[in-house]
Amino acid sequence: MNAISKINVSVFSAAIRPSIFLATFFSFYVCGSADVVPGAVPKDWPANQLKHQIVVRHESTDKKQAAMILAAEKTLPSKEAVRQALSTLDRNDPLGLAKPKETNGDTDWWYKQALGIRIPCAITKDAVKYYSDLVEKYGKQGFKRFIEPSSRLDYHATIMFHKEFTLDGKSFKNVHVVTLKLTFSQNFAATGTEGMHFEKKRIVVLDNDGKVLQVFGDGSTEVPILAI
């Protein structure tokens, strides 16, 4: 196992319980202000891998389900989902912290950057790798900050068969439903005075042959910014 507290779990079990390592989370959660003593100056913080954690879990009962999860992770958002996400930039970014992608016509998994970090339109395999690599990089570098930096990625992929499944007015029969959940936070790692947190959920419906029938959850992502 990598010393950076990087945990990759591929589970093939019908009965799975949440892992105890998900019980602890990060210090700063919502948009607000972190107190700094008046007159304080930035401090040199050496690399501390324990402050930067990666948790990746895939839960499936067999190879067929594992392949369906992979198919869901490889599915890019539609052009319409990307356009919808881009249309919310001004409304969700009153301070002008975000920068849209230079190329808006493609269907990549992200649509803007905040604090220099890509923000997802959809959860994909490449998205998980991007945030995993980012947290791993933070754990290997030193910082000069007012507060010790930290970061964390939590990713959880599950699959379940449904004889009937209905969501957002759409109904399906005899389908496999993949649920992808991703939570990312970085506190004063990307910048000296700001941090961020966001959560994203994606639901992908597949038929028994593994063909993607419908994707829910793609689009803009709310990103609270913490500043000191």
31 in a structural domain: no
Whether 120 shows a pLDDT value over 90: the answer reads yes
Q: What is the pLDDT of residues 170-188, one digit of tens each?
A: 999 999 999 999 999 999 9
73 in a structural domain: yes
pTM of the model: 0.82
Q: What is the pLDDT of residue 88?
A: 83
112 in a structural domain: yes
Percent pLDDT > 70 in the chain is 77
Q: What is the pLDDT of residues 140-149, one digit of tens each?
A: 999 999 999 9
Q: What is the pLDDT of residues 3-46, one digit of tens each?
A: 343 444 443 332 322 322 232 333 333 333 455 667 788 999 99
Average pLDDT on 161-168 reads: 98
* pLDDT confidence bin for 86, thresholds 50/70/90: confident
Whether 109 shows a pLDDT value over 50: the answer reads yes
Domain membership of residue 68 as a residue range: 6-11+42-154+169-227
120 in a structural domain: yes
Residue 73, helix vs strand vs coil: helix
Higher pLDDT, 59 or 101: 59
Nearest Cα to 42, choosing from 189, 147, 142? 147
Residue 227: which H helix or E strand, with range? strand 225-227
Whether 105 shows a pLDDT value over 90: the answer reads no
Total count of domains within the chain: 1
Measured distance CA(81)–CA(58) in Å, rounded:
25
Q: What is the pLDDT of residues 193-203, one digit of tens each?
A: 999 999 999 99
34 in a structural domain: no
Minimum mean pLDDT among 85-89, 106-110, 113-117, 223-227: which range? 106-110
Percent pLDDT > 90 in the chain is 68
Average pLDDT on 195-220 reads: 97
